Amino acid sequence: MSKLLVIPSIDIKDGQTVRVVQGIPELNCRAYGNDPVEMAMIWRTENAKFLHVVDFDHSQLHSIKNYKIVKEICESVVIPVEFGGGISSFDDAQEAMDLGVTRLVIGSLAYTNPLEFEKIIQQFGSSKLAAAIDIIDNKVVIRGRKEVLDLSPLEYAKRLENNGMKRVIVTDVSKNGMLNGANIELSKLIAQNTNLKVTHSGGISKKEELFELNSLTNIGIDSAIIGRALYENKFACQKIWRIAESGIF
């Protein structure tokens, strides 16, 4: 059985690393300071094999002011970087891929503009893409969680699969950044009823949840994005890592 890939999240707003709680970015991520590039290098030092980067300025304002930082992250670590945040056209996708990212996360566009979405799939291939499925009260939400679709998560996952997607990132928004438990059953439902690879996101705060997800790699849940819990040292092994690395940066 393959092992679960743990993916640290680096969320950027106004050039700084932020925490995200229920989809709302909060400033002052103090674990190691606010520099996203330094944070990427720290996660690499702690043996991360993959990074998830979200640009909230691009997502909310369609601003590319953080793109220089994203490019520097890609150039500073020798591991793949996944990037998302407000990709609303083929040109957006091309510009983001030109930064050096390995995988692009597509959110609302997959629903609002299927023809443009298909163009992106044809250009980059499904292995370079992941589709975000954000859920509130068992309904899919888009446009920054402001619009609720009359689709269940599984219905939307099957629709994405039919459109050619191979991977989805499943986030229960009510769990995101709350540290009160992960909705693993939701990711499990999608993995068991599709052929999609599933990245779980939201709510992970203890090792037992990681062990449970690791036991589900055989059904297609092969990775988990973790943000706040890592920044707030919720896993006992982090203390060992950080004593060992003190003074590196």
Instruction: Give kind and range of the element (H or E) at residue 206.
Output: none
Nearest to 49 by CA among 232, 237, 224, 229: 224
Lowest-confidence region among 11-20, 35-44, 230-239: 230-239
| Number of compact structural domains in the chain | 1
Determine contact, residues 3/9, Cβ cutoff 8 Å.
no
Overall size of the chain counted in residues: 249
Q: 96: exposed, middle or buried (C-beta count within 10 Å: 0-12, 13-18, 19+)? A: buried
Active-site residue set: 11, 134
Q: CATH number of the domain that 71 lies in?
A: 3.20.20.70
Report the distance separating Cα 209 and Cα 216, nearest Å: 11
Q: Is the pLDDT of residue 55 over 80?
A: yes
Determine contact, residues 78/94, Cβ cutoff 8 Å.
no
Nearest to 74 by CA among 92, 91, 56, 50: 50
Alpha helices, H only, the chain? 36-45, 56-61, 67-76, 90-97, 109-112, 114-124, 153-162, 184-193, 207-214, 228-231, 237-245
**Residue 30: DSSP 8-state:** -
Give the pLDDT confidence of 149-206 residue by residue, as tens digits: 999 999 999 999 999 999 999 999 876 544 566 899 999 999 999 999 999 998 898 8
| Paired tokens of 29 | 């991520």
| Paired tokens of 25 | 């970015």
Q: Which domain holds residue 181?
A: 5-245
Give the pLDDT confidence of 70-98 residue by residue, as tens digits: 999 999 999 999 999 999 999 999 999 99
pTM: 0.90
